Structure 1
Amino acid sequence: MTATLAHDNVASARRVSIPRGYRFELVKLVSQWRIRLLVLACWIVPALFVAAVSQQGTLPVDTLFGRWMHATGWAGPLVILGFAGTWALPLLTSVVAGDVFASEDRLGTWRHLLVAVRSPRRIFATKALASLTVILLLVAGLACSSAAGGVVAVGNQPLVGLDGHLLTPADAAGNVLLAWVCVLAPTLALAAIGLLGSVTLGRSPMGLLLPALVALAMQLAQMLPLPVAVRLALPSYAFIAWNGLFTSPAQLGPLLTGIVVSLVWAVTATALAYWLFLRRDFTNPSYDGSGRRAITTGLLPLVGLVAATVAVVAGATPSLGSGIEQDKVQRSVATAFAHLYRLQTEQLNRPDVTEAQLRTTATCTKGGGQVAGQGPGNDWRCVVSWHLPGVEAAGTAIYQLDVTADGRFMADGDGPKEVNGYFLVRTPIGDAPNPLWQFDGNVELLSTTLKGQLHAGNTP
Structure 2
Amino acid sequence: MASELSVMFRRRRTWAMLAALAAIPVLIAVAVRVTGAGQSGHGPAFLDRITQNGLFVVLTALVLCTPLFLPLTVGVVAGDTVAGEAGLGTLRYLLVAPAGRARLLLVKYVGAAVFCLAATASVLLAGTVAGLALFPAGPVPLLSGELVDGWTAEGRILLVGAFVCVSLLGLAAVGLFISTLTDVPVGAMAATIALAIAAQLLDALPQLDWLHPWLFSHWWLGFADLLRQPVEWTSFGNNAALQLGYVLVFGALAYGRFATKDVLS
What TM-score do the two structures reach when normalised by structure 2?
0.88
The CA deviation string for residues 254-292 of structure 1, in whole angstroms up to 9 with x for no partner, is: 34222211221122212221222111111x34xxxxxxx
Structure 2 partner of 1:51 = 29
Structure 2 partner of 1:149 = 130
Could you tell me how far 1:137 is from its partner in structure 2? 1.6
Distance change in 2, residues 1:156/1:100 (3 Å)? same
The CA deviation string for residues 325-375 of structure 1, in whole angstroms up to 9 with x for no partner, is: xxxxxxxxxxxxxxxxxxxxxxxxxxxxxxxxxxxxxxxxxxxxxxxxxxx
Structure 1 partner of 2:237 = 256
CA–CA distance in structure 1, aligned partners of residues 174 and 151 of structure 2: 36
Distance change in 2, residues 1:274/1:81 (3 Å)? same
Could you tell me how far 1:116 is from its partner in structure 2? 4.5
Checking the alignment, whether the CA contact within 8 Å between 2:105 and 2:255 is kept in structure 1 is: yes
Structure 2 partner of 1:275 = 256
The CA deviation string for residues 277-323 of structure 1, in whole angstroms up to 9 with x for no partner, is: 111111x34xxxxxxxxxxxxxxxxxxxxxxxxxxxxxxxxxxxxxx
The CA deviation string for residues 102-141 of structure 1, in whole angstroms up to 9 with x for no partner, is: 1122122222222355622332222222232233222211
Structure 1 partner of 2:9 = 30
Query: Counting helix residues as a fraction of each chain, which structure ranks higher?
Result: 2
Runs of 4+ in structure 1 over 4 Å off: 226-229
Code of the residue aligned with 2:13 in structure 1: it is: R
Structure 1 partner of 2:143 = 162
Distance change in 2, residues 1:25/1:201 (3 Å)? same
After superposition, where does 1:108-257 map in structure 2 within 5 Å?
Answer: 108-116=89-97, 119-203=100-184, 205-225=186-206, 230-257=211-238
Structure 2 partner of 1:80 = 61
Code of the residue aligned with 1:65 in structure 2: it is: F
CA–CA distance in structure 2, aligned partners of residues 167 and 239 of structure 1: 25
What are structure 2's unaligned runs of at least 5 residues?
none
Identify which of structures 1 and 2 has the higher relative contact order when contacts are C-alpha pairs closer than 8 Å and 6+ apart.
2
Checking the alignment, whether the CA contact within 8 Å between 2:25 and 2:61 is kept in structure 1 is: no
Code of the residue aligned with 1:52 in structure 2: it is: V
Checking the alignment, whether the CA contact within 8 Å between 2:196 and 2:217 is kept in structure 1 is: yes
What TM-score do the two structures reach when normalised by structure 1?
0.53
Distance change in 2, residues 1:132/1:246 (3 Å)? closer
The CA deviation string for residues 137-190 of structure 1, in whole angstroms up to 9 with x for no partner, is: 222111111122112221322233334443432332221111110112220001
Checking the alignment, whether the CA contact within 8 Å between 1:98 and 1:211 is kept in structure 2 is: yes
Checking the alignment, whether the CA contact within 8 Å between 2:173 and 2:250 is kept in structure 1 is: yes
1:41 and 2:20 are equivalent in the alignment: yes
CA–CA distance in structure 2, aligned partners of residues 135 and 251 of structure 1: 24
Code of the residue aligned with 1:278 in structure 2: it is: A
What are structure 1's unaligned runs of at least 5 residues?
1-21, 286-460
CA–CA distance in structure 2, aligned partners of residues 172 and 279 of structure 1: 49
Query: Counting strand residues as a fraction of each chain, which structure ranks higher?
Result: 1
Counting matched residue pairs gives 262
CA–CA distance in structure 2, aligned partners of residues 228 and 147 of structure 1: 36
Identity %: 25
CA–CA distance in structure 2, aligned partners of residues 258 and 114 of structure 1: 34
Checking the alignment, whether the CA contact within 8 Å between 2:202 and 2:208 is kept in structure 1 is: no
After superposition, where does 1:415-434 map in structure 2 within 5 Å?
Answer: none
Structure 2 partner of 1:327 = none
Could you tell me how far 1:74 is from its partner in structure 2? 1.5
The CA deviation string for residues 17-69 of structure 1, in whole angstroms up to 9 with x for no partner, is: xxxxx2222222223221121233334x1452243033132227321111101
CA–CA distance in structure 2, aligned partners of residues 146 and 126 of structure 1: 30
Code of the residue aligned with 1:48 in structure 2: it is: V
